[in-house]
Amino acid sequence: MSKIHFDRLAASAIKDTPRRRAIISFFEKSTGAKDPETVWEHLKTKFRRCGLPGVYRNLEQMVNAGILVRVQREGRKRYYGLCPGCGHMHHHHIVCVKCGKIGEMPECTLFKGRTLGGFKIVDHFIQLSGICPECGK
C-alpha cells in the first residue's frame, strides 16, 4: 500500500503516464511476477487502445528506473514484478516458487573485488528461489 513505486516513477527520468501508473497498480493488487502478456491482458481492460509492444517497452524502462525487477524463471519467457527495495542500490531478489512473490537480498558484498580461480570478478547475478512466509505456513 506504500506509494514508493509511484514516488519513484514521479522522480525518475521517464514520464509519469496513466499506463505506467496502471502497471504499478496491477502489480500492487496482484501477487507475484508476471509475464508481459499477462500485464497486457490486464491493461487492455483499462485502456481502449493498448498494444503489446508498448507493454514491453514500459516494463523494461520501469526496470531501468528501479521500479520493477526482471526475474529469471524456467523457460524462455521474461517475468517482471515490483521491486520491493525500489530505489536502493544494487541488490538481488528471491522469488517464491509457489506464488511468485518477490523478496529481497539487500546488501551483497559476496563477490566485491574478489578473484576466483584466477578470474577477476567484474559482475555477478544471483537469482534465489524459495518459499515465502505465506506459502510456508
Partner DNA sequence: AAATAAACAGAAATAATTTCTATTTAGGAG
Partner DNA sequence: CTCCTAAATAGAAATTATTTCTGTTTATTT
Is residue 121 a contact point for Mn ion (CB under 5 A)?
Answer: no
Residues that bind DNA (CB under 7 A): 14-20, 35-37, 47, 49-58, 60-61, 76-78
Is residue 108 a contact point for Mn ion (CB under 5 A)?
Answer: yes
Q: Which member of 59, 69, 96, 100 binds its own copies (CB under 8 A)? A: 96
C-alpha Rg value of the chain to the nearest Å: 16
Burial class (CB in 10 A: 0-12, 13-18, 19+), 136: exposed
Backbone phi, psi, residue 72, to 5°: -100, 120
Backbone phi, psi, residue 47, to 5°: -125, 135
Compute how many residues bind its own copies; rule: CB under 8 A: 29
CB of 17 to its own copies, least distance (A): 27
Report the interface residues with Mn ion, using CB under 5 A: 108
